[in-house]
Structure 1
């Protein structure tokens, strides 16, 4: 049985080639990462940046290193890097765990991996508006916006890739536009338009588009008439396993009782609250 292909890489490549430099989301996410790297308080000497805006991420974070494409097989050598950054592209990966495993293998022991990608709340307003419009006009649904994972599921990918000290968190970036059409023009300029393999290949009906625009303006407009779009950026952080890393204690190995540490009387588990 053949595995189903989720994304059309040919379409994705075309969308990226015709993108016209709307990189403000990459800039915002890269600045956020820059602050996080300062808190790590470590000097990295061999970094690799992955993604369509890899050079921009390198410049903003101040980390020099190789910049490579987010192809299914990454251009990485085993143990070459002490820092790998996957910049806002992992949501387009057919096999995200495979990408994480490739990067883990390319890390030196105790090397750091950070993958920033769009999470499940991204473009929820646009997704909802098109869903309501298609149901009302066409009596069915089609994938108009690429599926994106929820943060809990995305965090689990780090463990599946056998990365140590895994952490998943997110930030919400709210962007306002004059109208939904301006948002869609921006998505095209970002190279982030629909590249789902199962997408409809025919032109969008005018009636469906107008219904979607109306729904968006009705339900997601601000008091000044401008509309908002949500971009949830999830940061997945993990480390290549190393003997020098802190390890959790084995169950039952604690040498101090919790009650003693809290300076409270210890209570038996079978005690019941008096009513």
Structure 2
């Protein structure tokens, strides 16, 4: 089956390569800090670990569980030379105790296939952790451009990429063959001096419109002004600053292993709920 090409990964790689050397990628820093906190709750040693994401420089080299420190093998999933379309690129090995995907899933065309490939690279009872931008991220910017396009051009164009909603997270993990799947959201509200300040930061981080079927026409000053006005109307604060929603979707699941908890067979319960809750038929 042919996978629809939603994201232009070659364009995204070029955008990443053009970023200024002096930049503050606070989103990645936020996700890496959250990863550290999640790893600290694991009561096991990690022998072999892989972390992958678009920006090799932003990937952590080391991690620590509640038991012991460990080292990551790092892999960049996007680069100007990566033109073979692999999602992710060829993994350097298999049998990993831990694989972490940081901020790549939201620009992957075949998310189920991507997760399945990572799952196959895990050792039995190995853990997969993935962080991606969640479905409500940048919803203010998306709606502002839709309003401006409708007003200026009479049509609607996709100028902000769609992100993965929380409700789809568990299903994606199950399709990949992972056990004990968990999906949760961390929501953050970030404030900017203006809508333009937000747009400039997105561009500096290489996050310009990554859609394969993006509008052919350039954003005019008239359209940009209309989008900024629409943004301020829906997400402006009294001090003149504007709000931006940032959702971080976390997915986790384990490669199947016989030691893991399994659901009880139907009818195997030893205690009746009637005995626990009481018989309500006489009330």
Q: Which moved more, 1:21-30 or 1:124-133?
A: 21-30
Report if the CA contact (8 A) 2:97-2:122 is conserved: yes
Residue 114 of structure 1 corresponds to which residue in structure 2?
129
Going from structure 1 to structure 2, the CA distance change for 1:133 and 1:91 (only over 3 Å counts) comes to same
Report if the CA contact (8 A) 1:48-1:66 is conserved: yes
Separation in 2, partners of 1:228, 1:26: 19
In the superposition, the TM-score normalised over structure 2's length comes to 0.89
Residue 47 of structure 1 corresponds to which residue in structure 2?
49
The runs of 4+ residues in structure 1 deviating greater than 6 Å are: none
Determine which of 31, 37, 40 is the counterpart of 2:39. 37
**Structure richer in helix, relative to its length:** 1
Matches within 5 A, 1:3-42: 3-20=3-20, 21-42=23-44
Report if the CA contact (8 A) 2:62-2:71 is conserved: no
Q: Which moved more, 1:51-60 or 1:80-89?
A: 51-60
Report if the CA contact (8 A) 2:62-2:72 is conserved: no
Residues 110-143 of structure 1: CA distance to partner in whole angstroms, max 9, x if unpaired?
Answer: 1000010001100000001000111111110111
Residue 234 of structure 2 corresponds to which residue in structure 1?
219
Separation in 1, partners of 2:94, 2:26: 32
Structure 1 position 267, deviation (Å):
4.0
CA RMSD of aligned residues (A): 1.9
Going from structure 1 to structure 2, the CA distance change for 1:226 and 1:159 (only over 3 Å counts) comes to same
Matches within 5 A, 1:72-83: 72-76=87-91, 79-83=94-98
Q: Which moved more, 1:115-124 or 1:15-24?
A: 15-24
Determine which of 65, 76, 83 is the counterpart of 2:72. 65
Matched, 1:201 2:216: yes
In the superposition, the TM-score normalised over structure 1's length comes to 0.91
Count of residue correspondences: 268
Residues 193-228 of structure 1: CA distance to partner in whole angstroms, max 9, x if unpaired?
Answer: 111011013211222111110111122112211111
